[in-house]
Structure 1
Amino acid sequence: MKRPLSFTFSSPFFFPLFLCVLASLLLFACKKDSFITSRDARISITIDTLKYDTVFTKLGSVTQSFKIINENNQKLRLSSVKLMGGNSSAYKINIDGVATEEAKDVELEANDSVYVFVQVTVDPNSQNLPFVIRDSIQVAYNGNTQFVQLEAWGQNAHFFRDKHIISDETWTNDLPYVIQGFLFIEAGKKLMIEKGCRIYLHADAPVIVDGTLIVNGEKDTADRVYFTGDRLDEPYKGFPAAWPGIYFSPLSKDNVLQYAVIKNAYQALSLEAPSSNASPKLLLKECVIDNAYDAGILALNSSIVAENCLISNCGKNISITGGGDYQFTHCTAVTYSNAYIDHKSPVLFLSNATNAGTGSLQAVFRNCIFWGEGGLVDDEVIVNRSGTNPFSVNFDYNLWKVKTAPTNVTVNHIINDQPPLFDSINVSDRYFNFRLKEFSPAIDAGTPSSVLIDLDGKSRPVGLPDLGCFEK
C-alpha cells in the first residue's frame, strides 16, 4: 500500500521568502486600495468638445456622453466635476445617474471610469438665424483641471402641436416650422408654403391633407422647401422613417409641390382616390423624394403628374395600385442598397388591382430612368394587369434595368440594362449624386417634350434632351 505524499519544508530560506512574498502582495493590495494624490496622476477624457447640431428652442436635444477614465493603478478622487454655467446654463449634466450641477469627491477605482451625460435645452430669443450656446464642464483632481467644451446651435421656430388649418393660410420663411402631433389641412382649405421654408416633423407627426397643399419653392438650394424629421443631431438626422409623411386623402384636390425636398419619411407621399376635378390630384415639379423607409410615392387609384423628379433610395420608390391616371416625365427612380435601405422591391411597381378589386389604369412614362443596384431585384419595373378594365401603360424613351420585360405595355426606344453612369455613388459614405457622367447612355437619348428645364432649373436643349431629371 502506497503512502500519501508529504512535503516538509525544512530549508532555512523558505520561511523568510514566504514572508517577503506575502508582504509584497499585501503592499500591492494596500497600494491599489489607496488613493493616488500626486499631480502626476493620469486621467483621460474621451472627448474634448461635445457638439450639437441645430437644437430647436423649447425642445431638448439628444443626450450625449463622455467618459472620464482613471489610468492609474490606484484609486483616484475627482475633487469636482462641474458645469461652469451652473443653474443658469442651457445644459444639464448627469454623472453616473445623478443629475447635478457639480459632483464632488467622485471616486474612481484603479483603471475604472465614470460616465457624464449632457443634454441642452434652448430658451427662445428674438433671433431668426441660428445662434450658438456655449458652456464647459470642469474636471478637477489632485490640483489639476481639464475642461470639456460644450457647443450647440439654437434655432427659434414656429411650434405647432396638432395644428389644424381651418382657413387659407400662408407660411413664410421667417423661421422654421416644427410640427408635433399632426398637421391637418381641412377640406376646402389651403396651406401655401413659400420658398425657403423648412418644415421639421416629429416622429408622431404626419401631414394629412383633406384640402389643398401648395409648395412654392424655387430652384436655388436655399429657396427650396424642405420636409424632414426634427432630429437634426447625429446619427438621427439621416435615419429613414423619422416622420410619417404626407397623406392626401380622397377629399384632397389641386395639390402642387414645386422644388420641394421630402426626406427621411416612412411613406413620403401617399394618396388615394382620383381627383374630383380635371386637374391631377398631385402635381410634382422639380421635387426630390429621398430615403423614405417604406415608399417614396404610394398611390391608390389616384392621379399624379410628375416632372423632373428624383425619387431615390426608398424601400419602394414608386408604387401604384388600384389603377388611376399617371404621367411621369424626366423622372429618375433609383435605389442603391445601403445601411438604411435594403433594396428588395422594384423602383417602379404598377398594378390596376387591390384586394378590393380592379380599376382602370392609364400611365405614361417618358424620358425617365429606372435603376437599382446592390439588392435582390432583377426587374426594376414590374407591371401587373388584372381583369378587363381599360389598361394603357406606355413607356416612351426610357432607360431601365430589367431581365424580364413587362407585359401588357407599349414600349418605344428603351435602353435596357445599361448602367446610366451616375456622377458619384459612394454607398458606404451615403453620398449619391445622380447627375450624369459625360459618356452616360442617357445623354441625348430622350424625345422632345413640354418640360423645358431640369431639376436644377437648367434649360433643356431644343433638340434631344437627356433622360432622367438632370440635364448634363
Structure 2
Amino acid sequence: MKRLLSFFLCFGILLIWSSCRNDFEFTPSKGNLGFAKDTIYLDTVFTNVGSSTYNLKVYNRSDDDIVIPTIQLEKGVNSRYRMNIDGTTGLEGAQEGKFFEDVELLAKDSLFIFIETTIDISTLGGLENQFLYTDKILFDSGNDQQDVDVVTLVKDAVFIYPNKDEDTGIIETLSFDVDGDGTPDETTLQGRFLEDDELTFTNEKPYVIYGYAGVGAGKTLTIEAGARVHFHAESGLMVTNNASLTINGQLSTDQEALENEVILEGDRLEPLYEDIPGQWGTIWLFNGSENNTINYATIKNATIGVLSEGDQDAPNDKLTIRNSQIYNVSSFGILGRATSIKAENVVINNAGQSSFAGTFGGKYNFTHCTIANYWNNSFRQFPALLLNDFIVDENNAVFTNSLTEANFNNCIIYGNDNPEFLLENEGEVFNYKFTNCLLRFDNNNLQGNGNYVFDDDTFYVDNEFNQSPDFENPFENMMRIGENSDANGIGNSSFASQVPNDILGESRTALPDAGAYQSIVFEED
C-alpha cells in the first residue's frame, strides 16, 4: 500500500512539473544570432570538381528558444552552393539545399550549417582561367536579416581521364608490353595513353589527371616551365618502353610562388591537404623508357615520388634529375630498381620509408644532394638512404643484381633517426662510395661491419659524421642550412665545379658546402 501511494505521489508531481514546462514554445529570432565566422572560404576548387565540406556554427546566446523563419542562399535555386543544416536538406525539389524554413534553435544552443559546391566555370561568364564565385547565407528577412558571405575561387583546368563504358561502367585500363616480349599486356591500372596533341603540358592552365596518363612507345611528354600538374587519388604518370619524360622547369625568382618550377601534387587544393602524403601514385619510369630528365620540379604528397625501373646498363642514364625537391611521400621519395640515376642539387625529405632507395643493384650518382628524412607521421622501417642488390620473391627465393656504382659526392644524408643509411648486399658486385659528405651513422651494432669501415678510403673519403646540418626547419621541408652547419665548407671543389650553382642559383665554387644549398644566415623571427 505504501509503495502504491508513493507511485501516485511521484506521478502527480511529474504531471504538475511537466504542465509548467514551456520547452516547445519557440519565439521568432530577432536578428541576434551569433556566428563562428563572418565569411566561409571554400578555398580553391577545380571546375566541375566537388569541394570539401565546410561548416558554419550558428549560436543562440539568448535565454529563449527561438525559431529562425528562413535560412537561404541569396542566389536561390541558381546558387552553386548547397547546404545541410543539422542533417536536413531543407525544402524538396529545386530548393533542396538552398532554402530552409522554421529552423528551431534552443536557448544557449547552437547548430551546424554544412556547405559545399561544384561549379562549372564555363557557366560563370568569365574569360579568365579562374573566377571568384560568391554568395551569401541569409538568416530571416527584413530588419531582422543577418548574413554570412561564402567565397570560392574556381580554376579552369585541362582534365585527362580514362574512358568509361556507359553500359557496363567499366573504366579503361592501360595495355602495353610489360614483360618486354613484344606483345601488349593487360594491366589493372586505370588510365589511358596521351594523344599526340596532349604531349606538351603548358603553364596556361593546370592539368588534372585521373588514373595513369601513359606516354606511349616513341613518344615524349614535355612539361614546360611553370606548369602545374595535379593527380587524383591512385593516379600518376607512366612512361613506357621507348618513351621519355622531359620536365623543363626553370629557376624561380620567388621561392614562395615557385612561378617557374613545375609542381606535381594532388588535386585537393584546400590548405588541409597541403602537406598530406600519399594523395596520388607516382611518376613511373617503366622498364625500357629512356632519356628521362627532370629539372626544377617540386614533387610532393605522392606515394612514391619517382619510381625508376631497369636499364642500368643503358648508354645514357635512365633518369637525370636536377634542381628538384621531393617532399611528403608516404613510401619512397625516389625508388630505383636495377636502374641508372644521375642526381644533382636534389632535395628529398619526409618519406614514410626511405627518401632514396636504390634497390636490386643499379647505377647511381648523386652530387650536391640533400637526402634527409624527418618523417614523424608514423614509425618508418628504413633510413633516409637504402642501398641493396637483391630482391626476395613470394617463395623467399633471393635474386641478386650488381650494384655497379653508387657514388654520393658533397651530399648531406641525415634525419631524425639513426643510422640514416643502410647498405645490404647478397651478391659479389656492390660498389659504393661516399666522398665529402655529412652523414648520420652512430650505431655500434653495425659499425665495423664490412660495409661500414669508415677509415677505408675505397668507400669513404673526407666525410663528417653525426654533426649538425643546421637545417632551417626540416619538419616543414625548409632544408636550407645555416651559418653554423657542419656541412659548411666540407665539399670537394672538383665536384662543385661540376655543379657550380646551388639549387637557388647561388655560386658554390669558392667554398662549397655539402648538400643542395649553400649556407645562409637565417633571419630571426
Q: Which aligned pairs between 1:268-283 and structure 2 lie closer than 5 A?
A: 268-275=305-312, 277-283=314-320
One-letter amino acid of the structure 2 residue matched with residue 164 of structure 1:
F
Q: Which residue of 1 aligns with 2:52?
A: 62
One-letter amino acid of the structure 1 residue matched with residue 211 of structure 2:
G
One-letter amino acid of the structure 2 residue matched with residue 222 of structure 1:
E
One-letter amino acid of the structure 1 residue matched with residue 132 of structure 2:
V
Q: In 1, are the aligned partners of 2:28 and 2:69 still within 8 Å (CA)? A: no
CA distance in 2, matches of 1:383, 1:238: 30
One-letter amino acid of the structure 1 residue matched with residue 402 of structure 2:
S
One-letter amino acid of the structure 2 residue matched with residue 209 of structure 1:
V
160-169 or 181-190, which deviates more: 160-169
CA distance in 1, matches of 2:500, 2:142: 72
Shift of residue 142, structure 1, vs aligned partner = 10
CA distance in 2, matches of 1:330, 1:22: 81
SS of residue in 2 equivalent to 1:200: strand
* Residue 293 of structure 2, aligned match among 229, 232, 256: 256
Q: Which aligned pairs between 1:2-13 and structure 2 lie closer than 5 A?
A: none
One-letter amino acid of the structure 1 residue matched with residue 399 of structure 2:
G
Shift of residue 48, structure 1, vs aligned partner = 1.9
SS of residue in 2 equivalent to 1:131: strand
Q: In 1, are the aligned partners of 2:345 and 2:515 still within 8 Å (CA)? A: yes
Structure 2 CA distance for partners of 1:78 and 1:141, relative to 1, 3 Å? farther
CA distance in 2, matches of 1:129, 1:318: 37
Structure 2 CA distance for partners of 1:358 and 1:283, relative to 1, 3 Å? same
Structure 2 CA distance for partners of 1:451 and 1:407, relative to 1, 3 Å? farther
CA distance in 1, matches of 2:287, 2:135: 51
Shift of residue 112, structure 1, vs aligned partner = 4.1
One-letter amino acid of the structure 2 residue matched with residue 384 of structure 1:
E
Structure 2 CA distance for partners of 1:343 and 1:336, relative to 1, 3 Å? farther
Q: In 2, are the aligned partners of 1:43 and 1:69 still within 8 Å (CA)? A: yes
Q: Which residue of 1 aligns with 2:134?
A: 134
Q: In 2, are the aligned partners of 1:305 and 1:328 still within 8 Å (CA)? A: yes
CA distance in 1, matches of 2:24, 2:84: 27
CA distance in 2, matches of 1:153, 1:35: 39
Q: In 2, are the aligned partners of 1:244 and 1:265 still within 8 Å (CA)? A: yes
Shift of residue 453, structure 1, vs aligned partner = 1.2
SS of residue in 1 equivalent to 2:259: helix
49-58 or 290-299, which deviates more: 49-58
Q: Which residue of 2 aligns with 1:470?
A: 517
RMSD: 2.6
SS of residue in 2 equivalent to 1:309: strand
CA distance in 1, matches of 2:504, 2:339: 28
CA distance in 2, matches of 1:80, 1:38: 10
More strand per residue = 1
* Residue 185 of structure 1, aligned match among 204, 215, 218: 215
CA distance in 2, matches of 1:410, 1:458: 30
Q: Does 1:91 align with 2:105?
A: no
SS of residue in 1 equivalent to 2:463: strand
Higher Rg of the two aligned structures: 1
Q: Show structure 2 runs of 5+ residues with no match.
A: 90-95, 163-191, 253-257, 393-397, 452-457, 520-525
Q: In 2, are the aligned partners of 1:165 and 1:190 still within 8 Å (CA)? A: no
Structure 2 CA distance for partners of 1:248 and 1:350, relative to 1, 3 Å? same
SS of residue in 1 equivalent to 2:274: helix
Q: Could you tell me the TM-score, scaled by structure 1's length?
A: 0.88
Q: Does 1:396 align with 2:440?
A: no
SS of residue in 2 equivalent to 1:244: coil
Shift of residue 360, structure 1, vs aligned partner = 0.8
Structure 2 CA distance for partners of 1:106 and 1:415, relative to 1, 3 Å? same
Q: Does 1:441 align with 2:481?
A: no
Q: Which residue of 2 aligns with 1:154?
A: 154
* Residue 118 of structure 1, aligned match among 112, 115, 129: 115
Q: In 1, are the aligned partners of 2:29 and 2:68 still within 8 Å (CA)? A: no
Deviations 1:165-188 (A, max 9, x none): 254822211111111122111122
Q: In 1, are the aligned partners of 2:312 and 2:363 still within 8 Å (CA)? A: no
Q: Could you tell me the TM-score, scaled by structure 2's length?
A: 0.80
* Residue 346 of structure 1, aligned match among 362, 377, 383: 383
Q: Does 1:378 align with 2:426?
A: no
Q: Does 1:457 align with 2:505?
A: yes
Q: In 2, are the aligned partners of 1:336 and 1:343 still within 8 Å (CA)? A: no
SS of residue in 2 equivalent to 1:87: helix
One-letter amino acid of the structure 1 residue matched with residue 59 of structure 2:
I
Q: Show structure 1 runs of 5+ residues with no match.
A: 9-14
One-letter amino acid of the structure 2 residue matched with residue 318 of structure 1:
F
Shift of residue 52, structure 1, vs aligned partner = 2.1
Q: In 1, are the aligned partners of 2:288 and 2:311 still within 8 Å (CA)? A: no
Q: Which residue of 2 aligns with 1:11?
A: none
Shift of residue 158, structure 1, vs aligned partner = 0.7
Q: Does 1:357 align with 2:402?
A: no
Shift of residue 294, structure 1, vs aligned partner = 0.7
Aligned length: 446
CA distance in 2, matches of 1:22, 1:281: 83
CA distance in 1, matches of 2:28, 2:276: 47
* Residue 164 of structure 1, aligned match among 187, 193, 204: 193
SS of residue in 2 equivalent to 1:304: strand
Q: In 1, are the aligned partners of 2:222 and 2:245 still within 8 Å (CA)? A: yes
SS of residue in 2 equivalent to 1:465: coil
* Percent of aligned pairs with the same amino acid: 31
Q: In 1, are the aligned partners of 2:351 and 2:375 still within 8 Å (CA)? A: no
CA distance in 1, matches of 2:110, 2:342: 59
